[in-house]
Chains A and B, each alone.
Chain A
Amino acid sequence: MLIHIEDVFVAYGSPPRAVLAGINLEIEEGEFVCVLGQTGCGKSTLLRLILGSEHPMRGRILVDGREHHQPDRTRGYVPQKYSLFPDKTVLDNITFGCEVSEFGLFARLTPAFYRRRKQLRAEAFDYLQRIGLRSCDAKKYPDQLSGGMQQRVAIAQALMTKPRILLMDEAFSALDPGTRRGMQQLVRDLWKATGTTILFVTHNTDEALRLGTRVIVLAKESVDQGSRIAMDLSVPAPCGDEEIPSLVRRLELVSESCAL
């Protein structure tokens, strides 16, 4: 059991309004879990809980059998916005994780660092190719890239440190359908190649079904109650095109009926 979530409760504001209530979830190593739900139902909150940047008011979250109090290398993160460091080039963004976790603030001044950086850069160029960027993009700064390219670099950046879990929050929501299709393919391929466990938050039911091995729907049962897991669906391995419309309808029905 890689992620174990046990009776988690989260509320915000004063007076506190429940956002998540009674969440129980188990995720195995190597799963590709898509999280669906209407806006404001607490999907991002759930990711932040697993990241460890926020803590539940009740219940506990175990990752690899341990509670984590702050984000670290085991859980990679691709947020919807602000995923790249604007002050670093594409190449530096990709190698940043390895550099920073292997070398301290002052160890960067040693020759060993420069030798290692050479290797890392070679590796980064590899990733660049895999995510479909040209090597001339390596010297660019994030704001010189299109949104889709930025998200690709963000994924490469997260994968460079080889996290056991990758958390993606609406990573593709700003992309056009064509780019989106490509990115879905890319993530799916990378997932197959690396075996990383992925938690993927999205608004798009179709996308969830195409990508995941498992789809979870978060929904509120009434306005003043927190969201719970309204549906937990294992997607049949090759999800055929003809099954998708009916599944989409089913999932959306669950999500909407609960929200009333």
Chain B
Amino acid sequence: MSVGFLLIHARPQRAWSAILSWFLFAAGLAAYLWVAQARHRENPEDRVTPTLAQMATGMYNAVMQPAEEDEAAPPAANFYDRLSHSMLWRDTRATSRRFLLSLALLIPAVLLGLHMGLFPYVGVFFLRFVLFFDKIVALSLLPILFIAFGIDELSKIMLIVIGVTPTIILDSFNLTRGVPPEQIVKAFTLGAGDFDVAYRVVLKQVAPRVLNSIRLNLKAVMLFLFAGEMIASTDGLAYRIALLRRHMGMDVIIPYVLWVALLLFLVDFAMRTVNRKLHPWFHEA
């Protein structure tokens, strides 16, 4: 502790690591509470920084009360009934559905990148266009999306597709290009055909890296999804945040934001675990 403290060769003890790694969380929470308390002393009706108790009630209502646009659940309903009619559950379900659908749409993107990297004609056909498309700021295309795809689910999914798929396509294209040519030649000398090479050799090799690249893009997917939901929607987590924002319902917004962060973390964690289980040979650099 004395010699190497704060230097590259420092070896923090376990206890210190634990304390230090949680320190900023604690500091953030304390700062928030302090500000919230100060503001509430000055203005007991302040809505910008709700206290923990207010957030707890806000969240309790979000979890246990039926959503405003839902039919009121019978008063005697049990816990699960009430949960399934609640704001939080409905919003989470709607957003997750869109989220998973967009993730599924990334699979063709990966395959396109793979083919572009392997088959020269596919490459020249798409590459320039995808490179161009990658630079388009998808949000600015919204009016066109609305006209082309309506304002329902499709336009929201398309927003994500336009916003995220070029990155994924280019990423899997580059990863495919990164496979040593020796491997491809070798596969051919062993009697593999073009599609064996594409799917059994190259795709299997780039799969873990592609999964990682999708993991890095999860936030972008969520960002576009939120933008779509905030602009036109009837349900979803971002829809609720947009609505509550209009009258500063921070007591629900803050827990909602934390909930979204937790969900994203869980998705990321699940993908990492799957990646590790599926590709035991792969070691992250």
Contacts and interface: CB of A to CB of B under 8 A. Distances in A.
Give yes or no for direct A-B contact (beta carbon below 8 Å). Answer: yes
A71 B182 contact: no
B191 A77 contact: no
A101 interface: yes
Interface stretch (B2-10, B19-27, B132-140, B194-202): B194-202
A105 B195 contact: yes
Say whether chain A's binding surface is mostly helix, strand, loop, or mixed: loop
A72 B195 contact: no
Contacts of B183: 82, 85
A79 B186 contact: yes
Say whether chain B's binding surface is mostly helix, strand, loop, or mixed: helix
A53 B185 contact: yes
B191 A97 contact: yes
Interface string A134-159: 00000001110000000000000110
A18 B185 CA distance: 24
Contact of A83 (B186, B196, B199, B205): B186
A105 B190 contact: no
Interface residues of B, number: 26
Interface in B161-215: 180-183, 185-193, 195-196, 199-201, 204-205, 207
Contacts of A81: 180, 182
B280 interface: yes
Contacts of A104: 193, 196
A255 to B, nearest CB: 26
Interface string B259-285: 000000000000000000001111100
Interface residues of A, number: 33
A142 B282 CA distance: 11
A86 B282 CA distance: 8
Contact of B205 (A79, A85, A141): A85
Nearest to A96: B190
B191 A87 contact: no
A127 to B, nearest CB: 14
A158 to B, nearest CB: 7
A91 to B, nearest CB: 13
Contact of A77 (B180, B189, B199, B282): B189
Most chain B CB neighbours (cut-off 10 Å) among A48, A77, A142, A158: A77
B190 A100 contact: yes
A102 B113 CA distance: 28
Contact of A79 (B182, B201, B279): B182
B281 A100 contact: no
Nearest to B279: A87
Most chain B CB neighbours (cut-off 10 Å) among A86, A98, A157, A161: A86
A77 B185 contact: yes
Interface of A: 48, 51, 53, 70-73, 75-77, 79, 81-83, 85-88, 96-98, 100-101, 104-105, 141-143, 157-158, 160-161, 163
Identify the 4 closest CB pairs spanning chains A and B, nearest first: A101-B191, A97-B190, A71-B188, A82-B180
20 contacts: A72-B188, A75-B189, A77-B182, A77-B186, A79-B185, A82-B182, A83-B182, A86-B281, A87-B207, A88-B204, A96-B187, A96-B190, A97-B190, A97-B192, A98-B191, A100-B193, A104-B193, A104-B196, A141-B280, A143-B281
